[in-house]
Amino acid sequence: MSSSLERLIAQVRGTVITEGDDGYEEARRVYNGMIDKRPGAIIRPADRDDVSAVVRFAGETGTDLSIRGGSHSVPGFGTNDGGVVLDLSSMRGVRVDPENRTARAEGGCTWGELDDATHEFGLATVGGVVSTTGIAGLTLGGGIGYLTRSRGLTVDNLVSAEVVTASGELVRASEDEHPDLFWALRGGGGNFGVVVEFEYRLHPVDTIYGGPLFFEGAEARDVLEAFTSYMAGDAPRQLGGFFTWQLGPAAPFIPEDRHGEPMCGIVACWSGPPEEGETAFEPVLAMGSVVGHALGPMPYPALNSAFDLPHGLRHYWKANFVADVTDDLLDAHRANGPNAPTLESAMHLHAMTGAVHDARAHSTAFGNRDASFATVIAGIWTDADDDEANIQWVRDYYAATSPFSRAGGYINFQSEEEGDHAEQNYGPTYARLAEIKRTYDPDNVFRVNQNIPPAG
């Protein structure tokens, strides 16, 4: 261990775990079981001063620094080999202000923790579709979820952020304070600093009506066409969710002899008055022959945690944005969707129409705001023996659909390989992001991410 790392360890008040310590093997792991890296130290800060000390250390020594929120990054940006991990799981406080309809949540919170806290007051903000994902990585990349069509991206609901920048300084970013930094944080990923606290706008969302519904696999192309044209067209904004092309899950609402058969599904949420939910789902149920569904009223956090998977499964994902769903694209899905090698693997196509398109095109750093859908081809499996089959399925599927999609994808749904599409991923906001990076992180201290190198 270097003497500078020893000095850092002596300085921080939080927990430090290094190779050989009890708990190191568990602490070095991230959500994706494919990632097998061995950082030099994992530091769980006690407070913001600890965060500043770690960032200063990384800047002064050139050590790789991973910022870990919920650890869900599929490329495994929450860890590294030989560097330092700043693991914010030690900072997970949430404070809800029901009168002003805002919540402040520390950088290590998961969506489950934030949803549960706001649900106490019948309120919610736009999160993702599972509860174990970190609020930090999801928010900083943009944030797409069940409430997106009615309330926009997660970043559209961000009021302010407390950030430790590359110099170790703590600043508040909002529309009025460091507005350029605030703009960059809303889609530019973990490139600009460590966010120790997020402040979100909340909405009255309490009991929702929704859940999964599955259709005959033979009709999947037609269902996808119906879903995309409805979500890009007449669907009420309170209806949000995603299409899934996958094998029939081993769920109680799917006949047992049909588990593992190629099927397609829609997982959706009606966040309008719950008593209108059944009617709202009529056009969705009419999109094809339904094999089974589990639709009904439920608390919003229940839907957001209904599909949580255990940590440690193996993941390999690729992603594109889609503006127009063409016949060629639908054919490419039909050729690849049914071939998912395992029950957990799936192609998800998330609707990002409605409120997402209300904001000005470049009002935040999320550059592909004018796309209608975010596609993720998610290989997910248990056994290392299935690595090749799953990775190949994702690569083939991506190769077939990407000619009919945008060149860029949602940074939060991508593998590391798509990092070299950075300009397309961030879209027309890329040049300004690189300028702001030069101002706030000229030495690229925050580089273990979908990186934006400083301009010049």
Ligand X SMILES: Cc1cc2nc3c(=O)[nH]c(=O)nc-3n(C[C@H](O)[C@H](O)[C@H](O)COP(=O)(O)OP(=O)(O)OC[C@H]3O[C@@H](n4cnc5c(N)ncnc54)[C@H](O)[C@@H]3O)c2cc1C
For the record, the structure tokens of 279 come out as: 């009617």
Q: Which two tokens stand for residue 453?
A: 């190198």
Does the footprint of ligand X cover residue 266 (CB under 6 A)?
no
In the complex, minimum distance from the CB of residue 328 to ligand X, in angstroms, rounded to a whole number: 26
Instruction: Give the nearest distance from C-beta 429 to ligand X in angstroms.
Output: 17
What is the pairing mode between strands 314-322 and 373-381?
antiparallel
Instruction: Single out the segment in contact with ligand X by CB under 6 A; choices: 62-70, 254-262, 328-336, 432-440.
Output: 62-70
Among 371, 352, 287, 312, residue whose Cα is nearest residue 143: 352
Based on the shown chain and the rule CB under 6 A, indicate whether residue 133 belongs to the binding site for ligand X.
yes
Comparing CB distances to ligand X, the nearer of 185 and 220 is 185
If the CB atoms of residues 106 and 216 are measured against ligand X, the closer one turns out to be 106
Closest CB to ligand X among 67 and 264? 67
Stretches 69-77, 321-329, 358-366, 433-441: which one binds ligand X (CB under 6 A)? 69-77
Cα 158 to the center of its chain, rounded Å = 15
Q: How far apart are CA 61 and CA 252, in angstroms?
A: 54
Q: Which of 126, 136, 322, 346 binds ligand X (CB under 6 A)?
A: 136
CA dist., res. 49 & res. 419, Å (int):
31
Considering only residues 225 through 264, tell me which ones interact with ligand X, judged by CB under 6 A.
none
12 is a site residue for ligand X (CB under 6 A): no
Q: 335 vs 343, which CB is nearer to ligand X?
A: 343
**145 versus 217: smaller Cβ distance to ligand X:** 145
Which H/E stretch holds residue 393? helix 387-401
Which position among 27, 94, 117, 144 is part of the footprint of ligand X (CB under 6 A)? 144
The Cα-based distances of 334 to 183, 220, 245, 401 in angstroms read: 39, 7, 9, 10
Q: How many residues bind ligand X (CB under 6 A)?
A: 34
Nearest distance in Å: CB 420, ligand X: 16
Residue 451's nearest CA partner among 60, 29, 61, 77 is 77
Residue numbers 187-206 binding ligand X by CB under 6 A: 189-190, 194-195
Binders of ligand X among residues 27 to 56 (CB under 6 A) are: 31
For 327, other C-beta atoms within 10 Å of its C-beta total 10
CA-to-CA dists, residue 439 to 108, 178, 433, 442, angstroms: 26, 11, 10, 6
Is the CB of 303 or the CB of 332 nearer to ligand X? 303
Site string for ligand X, 405-424 (x = CB under 6 A): -------xx-----------
Distance set, CA 154 to CA 37, 115, 317, 372 (Å)? 30, 13, 21, 16
Question: Which one among 28, 29, 44, 68 touches ligand X, defined by CB under 6 A?
Answer: 68
Can residue 130 be called a binding residue for ligand X (CB under 6 A)?
Answer: yes
Give 78 or 112: the residue with its C-beta nearer to ligand X: 78
Radius of gyration of the chain (CA): 21
Residue 106 in contact with residue 92, Cβ under 8 Å? yes
- Per-position DSSP letters for 45-87, written without gaps between them: -SSHHHHHHHHHHHHHH---EEEESSS--TT-TT--SSSEEEE
Judged by CB under 6 A, which stretch of 33-41, 136-144, 173-181, 326-334 contacts ligand X? 136-144
Q: Residue 269, interface with ligand X (CB under 6 A)?
A: no
Minimal distance, residue 71 CB to ligand X, in Å: 5
Q: Element (H or E) spanning 185, and its range?
A: helix 179-185
By beta-carbon proximity to ligand X, the closer residue of 59 and 69 is 69
Report the C-alpha gap between 22 and 313 in whole angstroms.
Answer: 23
Candidate residues 45, 83, 143, 367; the one interacting with ligand X per rule CB under 6 A: 143
Interface pick for ligand X out of 39, 83, 112, 134 (rule CB under 6 A): 134
Cβ-Cβ contacts under 8 Å for 80 (sequence gap 6 or more)? 37, 39, 64, 65, 66, 448
77 binds ligand X (CB under 6 A): yes
Q: Which of 39, 45, 112, 141 binds ligand X (CB under 6 A)?
A: 141
Query: Nearest residue by C-beta to ligand X?
Result: 137
- Binding positions for ligand X, rule: CB under 6 A: 31, 67-74, 77-78, 88, 107, 128-130, 133-134, 136-138, 140-141, 143-145, 189-190, 194-195, 309, 412-413, 449
